[in-house]
Amino acid sequence: MATKRQKFISEETDGQELEYGVEVSFDAENLFVDNSNLEEFEGDSQQEFNEYVSNNVGSSASPGFSFGRSGNATAGSWLLRTGGVPSNKTGIPVAILNAKIVLLIVSNENVSSFDITVYEHEGDSIGLTPLVTRSVIASRTDFFVLDVSASIGKQLAVQITHGSAKNLGVDLQLKGEVGV
């Protein structure tokens, strides 16, 4: 069944952090899609349409994959998802088909060196599987272009696996196919 509505909590708008998260819903009424090239679609099934949209429009699961840790985070610290839940206990579920992590963005208060590892799991630290590790070297911010598969139905978690950082934030951008 195709996804008809997506919701996420926005914690910033145009680079400005909001005091309270704002729920944003995407559905046919408020999602703008440039379909000026849609006349090229010649298929007749929902699957063919989903593939066409994925290849020509794309489907991003972000924002919504944001993790953070206030104060000093040292090796072994799990980053938290919105609400303060450690991401290894309850991560952020992947709800798109053929999901790929395409971008990892890291920021922290101090110039620091540390490693960040992204995991997928089933919840409650069950089946923690490392997907990718990246090193930030003597920097406050860094980003990494990736092509890493993530499984639908699994939860994503983030851990600082080496070094330390202060007030650490990690954002993931995922892309995949429309529908679940």
Domain-wise residue ranges, the chain:
6-56, 66-177
Q: Is the Cβ–Cβ distance between 67 and 147 less than 8 Å?
A: no
Residue range 66-177, CATH number: 2.60.120
Largest CA distance in the chain: 55
pLDDT in tens, the chain (180 residues): 444 455 555 565 545 565 555 555 444 444 444 444 445 555 555 566 556 555 544 444 454 689 999 999 999 999 999 889 999 999 999 988 889 999 999 999 999 999 999 999 999 999 999 999 999 999 999 989 999 999 999 999 999 999 999 999 999 999 887 655
Q: Is the Cβ–Cβ distance between 95 and 26 less than 8 Å?
A: no
Model pTM above 0.85: no
Q: Is the Cβ–Cβ distance between 119 and 156 less than 8 Å?
A: yes
